[in-house]
Chain A
Amino acid sequence: MSLNKDKIAGLLLVILGIGAYLEGRSHSLGTLTQMGSGYFPVALGVVLVLIGLLLFVTSSPDGQDKPAVPPAATDLNDPPHLSLDHCPPTDWRGVSCIIGSVISFIWVGHLFGLIPATWICVFMAAMGDRTSTYREAAILSLLMCALAVGLFHTVLHVQFPLIQFPFWKA
């Protein structure tokens, strides 16, 4: 028995369900008349475990359900590049750049303020695409910095220091 997509999905649900059950048990359960705060999470956890088991047992033989949306008429010269129901294999460069970009927004934003955070966030995200160049990414991130100052800071008054130097204060 190989571990296909549906089986992993089922296992994940079982784990999440057990987690919800345990978390729910740490609160008072109460009775059906006087439901405690643990009652609902425990119930949902049990449901989740059941669904997970059902999914695990019934997982379709080819490992994946057929897409419910029929593929559109394909033109041989120009095949559609992304279907709605199928998740393509992970593109590691793109994925790590996007994750890095959000993390750096948090980290740089916390230390140095909005402008550097915006710049690094957009630049890093843009470099996730294999076709972008450093120049393009730099220009795009500068544009976004201008937008951050012009729209979010000036017009919408988002409370975020524009730029700061935490290590100079001391």
Chain B
Amino acid sequence: MVMTALNDLWHGFGVAFEPHNLMWCFIGVLFGNFVGVLPGLGPMAAISVLLPLTFSMKPVAAILMLSGIYYGAQYGGAICSILLNLPVHPPHAVTCLDGYPMTLKGRGGAALGITMIASFIGASFGITEMIFFAPVLVGFAFKFGPSDICSLMLLGLLAGSTLARSSPLKGIAMTVLGLLFGIAGTDINTAEQRFTFGILHMADGIEIVALALGIFGIAEFLKCVNYIKPIAPKNMHVSMRDMLPSREELKTAFPAMWRGTLVGSLCALIPGTGPTIASFVAYALEKKITRTPERFGHGAVEGVASPEASTHSSVQGDFIPTMSLGIPGDAVMALILGALIIQGITPGPQLVREHPDLFWGLIASFWIGNILLIILNVPLIGIWVKLLTIPYRYLYPSAIFFICIGVYSTTNDLFGVGETLVIGLFGYVLLMLGFHPAPMLLGFVLGPRFEENFRRAMLISDGDLRVFIERPISATFLAIAVTLLGAQLYLWIKNRRLKLIS
């Protein structure tokens, strides 16, 4: 079992080291690191902008690059939190709490150094988890029938929408809306046109690129324009030598990194709990178990090391359900899954067997990518810090152009650009009303497959809904989903009561 995994991994390294793939992996992590550093641009916008580029690429290279953007952005995101106290990248928001005080004390460089070590440890553990855990999950997933898949998707959708930020109700609403967006176009079973409003272009459905760029690109710019102020270059002189933490700092940071890593890898296994939640849990845990909680918030090293390790281990672990079951845990994974579907690869448990190049090549590229990121970040930290000062007024106009041309290039048609604008405006309205549109993408990607599997399950069971609770696997998933909803409801009511009292 262990030997086969290592053997496959060896093969994966062969794939990842092919010059072509290595180049795209490098471009991915470089670009990811770049957008991770910049406030106001996130990995989701970056992946959606580069998504059209991948249509003409080979599947392996495409997925290596897109994944590289995702984990590369995590390396850059911490810089902004630690040096500037800007929680613009959700998974690193919690790092502000102790990272920025360290900067004020003049230990900002050391905080970054610790972050890098923590990132690498966390990521390594997450990748190892994927190597050994994903094949087990795949073996298990082959027993799934349509009803089981349906329940699993339902669980994934509910977890993805309720565990995210904002109220669970709004999250579920976004997912349902995403499902509706997903089934727009020609129905595969009856060839009827749904939600096309008589527009010929809509027969193919909504382009995933248009949706992603609309809600993560246009809508975000509409929200942020004139609200992101230029960054004053203070506390911002970090050189490679500054990044070396002292011996005492390392001594306190190391155990924290391992705890964070464990928290992150556990969070990765629960669908829907992405890196953001992992980092908050890790920080809360550190604060709980320390003997000196008063140090937290004033530059405690553990408060930087643990959440960062946890974020990275959860980012890598996020790929486990996506690649082995075909169920994405969050919007970024949904985008990567969308890229797979565009490449003509059906996501699901058969992926590991049918496309071993892709699966093991991806895992191997994680190692390579993470090492590349360390090389990129440690000696070049000064450059990344300088990039922080690129004003937003240069960034977003360029990004809008990239969005326009990117959407255009997917269909060679200006209709898609208009579609993106409309979705972007709609997304902005949703943002204003306090929704977080990210789960929409989850619903969008799973929509057609959910309908298809539901239809199949109903056909097999002759329209008997009890099939979902009669099959043990499906029943288990549903039970977890119900528990999750119940817990959410309980917390929500509790919070509301507290709010009403105060």
Contacts and interface: CB of A to CB of B under 8 A. Distances in A.
Contact of B434 (A6, A24, A48): A6
A88 B194 contact: no
Contacts of A65: 166-167, 434
B385 to A, nearest CB: 16
A64 B434 CA distance: 8
Interface residues of A, number: 93
A103 interface: yes
Given A54-B169, A121-B401, 17 more contacts: A16-B180, A41-B180, A51-B169, A72-B87, A72-B93, A72-B100, A78-B232, A82-B228, A87-B434, A93-B226, A99-B222, A103-B421, A122-B397, A129-B226, A129-B392, A136-B394, A160-B408
Contacts of A131: 230, 391, 393
A125 to B, nearest CB: 4
Interface in B395-445: 396-398, 400-401, 403-405, 408-409, 412, 414, 417-418, 420-421, 424-425, 428-429, 431-435
Nearest to B192: A37
Contact of A5 (B224, B400, B433): B433
Contacts of B280: 69
Contacts of B195: 20, 23, 41
B294 interface: no
Given A106-B417, A131-B393, A55 B225 contact: no
B173 interface: yes
Nearest to B391: A131
B358 interface: no
Nearest to B191: A37
A23 B194 contact: yes
B97 A94 contact: no
Interface string A37-72: 110110011011001101100101110111111011
A93 B227 CA distance: 12
Chain B CB count within 10 A is highest, among A67, A71, A93, A105, for A105
Contacts of B297: 73
A77 to B, nearest CB: 10
A140 to B, nearest CB: 6
Contact of A72 (B96, B408, B451, B500): B96
Interface in A104-139: 105-106, 109-110, 114, 117-118, 121-123, 125-126, 128-132, 136-137
A101 B397 CA distance: 9
B462 interface: yes
Contacts of B222: 94-95, 98-99
A121 B404 contact: yes
B405 A152 contact: yes
Contacts of B420: 102
7 contacts: A9-B170, A16-B180, A37-B190, A40-B451, A51-B172, A72-B100, A81-B86
B434 A121 contact: no
B400 A80 contact: no
Contacts of B425: 99
A112 B111 CA distance: 52
Contacts of A73: 85, 96-97, 100-101, 297
A35 interface: yes
A55 B177 CA distance: 15
B405 to A, nearest CB: 5
Given A72-B100, A81-B227, A87-B223, A126 B393 contact: yes
Nearest to B53: A156
Given A5-B433, A51-B172, A106-B414, A69 B401 contact: no
B401 A144 contact: yes
A78 B103 CA distance: 14
A109 B226 contact: no
A69 B93 contact: yes
Contacts of B96: 72-73
Interface in B232-290: 232, 276, 280
A84 B394 CA distance: 21
A29 B429 CA distance: 32
B465 A32 contact: yes
A126 B395 CA distance: 9
B454 interface: yes
B153 interface: no
A47 B161 CA distance: 15
B55 to A, nearest CB: 11
B463 interface: yes
A159 B500 contact: no
A37 B226 CA distance: 45
A84 B463 contact: no
Nearest to A69: B93
Contacts of A62: 499
Contacts of A27: 187, 190, 192, 194
A34 interface: yes
